[in-house]
Amino acid sequence: MPDRPLPASVRWLRALLYLSGGLTLLIALSMLMLTGISAYELGYNAMASLPGVAQILLAVFIRRNGRVVFWSILAVEALLCLYALLTLGGDGRWTQLILPAVILVLLLRPTARAFFLR
């Protein structure tokens, strides 16, 4: 497969996937350090870090630019948006919605769709 350059929206998409995944893993690690290591905390933080791991893996596989990568990014980010909307409650967690929404907007741009779905 020839190495063609990534469109600008896909480059930003990839950077934001790395950023979001890295922040998720960093938060899970810091919570583990703050609360101490117990079986419950280890399991809870392992489950909380799964979206971050998925985002980093999807960022790595962006170069493969296939339908599977496109639909996987769409599914992960849509689930993260849905989770952020469902957990809004009264404590104002609007900031959790920003990165997944921006990633979805970049993914659904015509240049990104053409890159993934060609």
The confidence band for 2, taking pLDDT boundaries of 50, 70 and 90, is: low
Tell me if 1 is assigned to some domain. Answer: no
Tell me if 2 is assigned to some domain. Answer: no
Q: Which residues contact 82 (CB under 8 A, 6 or more apart)?
A: none
Range of the domain at 76: 8-117
54-111: pLDDT as tens digits: 999 999 999 887 899 999 999 999 999 998 888 887 676 778 889 999 999 999 999 9
Q: What's the confidence (pLDDT) of residue 118?
A: 81
Question: Do 1 and 103 form a contact (C-beta atoms < 8 A)?
Answer: no
Tell me if 98 is assigned to some domain. Answer: yes
Question: What's the pTM?
Answer: 0.89
- Say which residue the tokens 């962006």 belong to: 62
Mean pLDDT for 42-50 is 89
Q: How far is it, in rounded angstroms, from Cα 13 to Cα 33?
A: 30
Give the count of domains, the chain: 1
- Say which residue the tokens 């921006």 belong to: 102
| Number of other CB atoms surrounding residue 22 within 10 Å | 14
> What's the mean pLDDT when you consider all of the chain?
89
